[in-house]
């Protein structure tokens, strides 16, 4: 490896490209998140698929660079005026609405590039409760390891990795899932293999490096 290549790699690791999800985290008067986990997961999956298939030149170029580094994903939360400030940023993004959930998904950007409204959105503390509604038609089942006690935000990131890897297989099953609206059904417990998709975490937050966080059969 040439010295210039090594320098560039070190700089990218210190200021890594990541797709950023921002969740509208409006709360009820008693302090609970207004939206249930099921709608949040569906909106996150739908937004991610829309972004990955976005044909705007800047989005395409940024996703290509992001794939060359690592498929990092960061999940943040904002509410009220902070949510509306996030929506107003000029960086390319998509917004997905499913049920009561709204999730903004930004094209890959580095921490040093984040607009103030995105930089100020909170990373920790995103916890949503199940609403109990049944999975939507055509939902893709994603199994997650509940023993890792991942936050809702962390689960969204792992779910994002899983559905991205699944979609990139370009199978008829994957294309049908995308066409049907990208709904997901997240269930606890990692069943025995074989698995069509496995997600192992890099260990930057919440769980140990190498943890098997999510699978699709």
Query: For 153-164, how does the pLDDT look when each residue is reduced to its tens digit (9 = 90+)?
Result: 999 999 999 999
Residue labelled with tokens 């560039």: 8
Are 186 and 160 in contact by the 8 Å Cβ rule? The answer is no
Q: Which of 92-101, 158-167, 199-208 has the lowest mean pLDDT?
A: 199-208
Q: Which residues are bridge partners to 144 per DSSP?
A: 188, 214
Distance, CA of 181 to CA of 5 (rounded, Å): 41
What pLDDT score does 12 carry? Answer: 54
Question: pLDDT of 18-31, one tens digit each?
Answer: 999 999 999 988 87
- For residue 32, the model assigns a pLDDT of 85
Burial of 111 (0-12, 13-18, 19+ CB in 10 A): middle
Query: Is 128 a residue whose pLDDT tops 80?
Result: yes
For the cut 50, the answer to whether the pLDDT of residue 127 exceeds it is yes
What is the average per-residue pLDDT within 199-211? Answer: 89
pLDDT for 95 beyond 60: yes
Q: How confident is the model at residue 202 (pLDDT cuts 50, 70, 90)?
A: confident
Asked whether 104 and 75 are in contact (CB, 8 A), the reply is no
Mean pLDDT over each residue of the chain, to the nearest integer: 92
Question: The tokens 């739908």 sit on which residue?
Answer: 46
Give residue-wise pLDDT tens across range 102-116: 999 999 999 999 999
Confidence of residue 172 (pLDDT cuts 50, 70, 90): very high
Question: Whole-model pTM?
Answer: 0.92
Tens-digit pLDDT profile for residues 46-73: 999 999 999 999 999 999 999 999 899 9
C-alpha to C-alpha distance for 75 and 56, rounded to whole angstroms: 23
Return the domain boundaries, the chain. Answer: 3-216
> How much is the average pLDDT of 171-185?
97
């Amino acid at each position: 490896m040439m010295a210039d290549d090594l320098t560039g790699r070190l700089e990218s690791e210190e200021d890594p490209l990541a797709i950023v999800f921002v969740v509208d985290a409006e709360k009820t008067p008693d302090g609970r998140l207004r939206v249930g986990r099921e709608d949040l997961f569906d909106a996150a999956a739908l937004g991610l698929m829309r972004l990955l298939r976005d044909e705007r030149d800047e989005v395409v170029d940024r996703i290509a660079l992001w794939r060359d580094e690592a498929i990092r994903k960061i999940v943040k939360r904002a509410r009220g005026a902070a949510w509306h400030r996030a929506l107003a940023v000029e960086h390319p993004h998509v917004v997905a609405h499913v049920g009561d959930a709204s999730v903004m998904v930004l094209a890959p950007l580095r921490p040093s590039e984040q607009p103030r409204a995105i930089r100020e959105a909170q990373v920790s503390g995103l916890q949503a409760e199940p609403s109990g509604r049944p999975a939507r038609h055509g939902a893709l089942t994603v199994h997650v390891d509940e023993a890792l006690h991942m936050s809702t935000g962390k689960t969204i990131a792992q779910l994002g990795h899983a559905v991205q890897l699944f979609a990139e297989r370009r199978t008829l099953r994957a294309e049908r899932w995308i066409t049907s609206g990208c709904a997901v059904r997240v269930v606890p417990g990692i069943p025995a293999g074989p698995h069509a998709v496995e997600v192992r975490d890099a260990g930057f937050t919440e769980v140990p490096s190498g943890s098997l966080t999510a699978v699709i059969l």
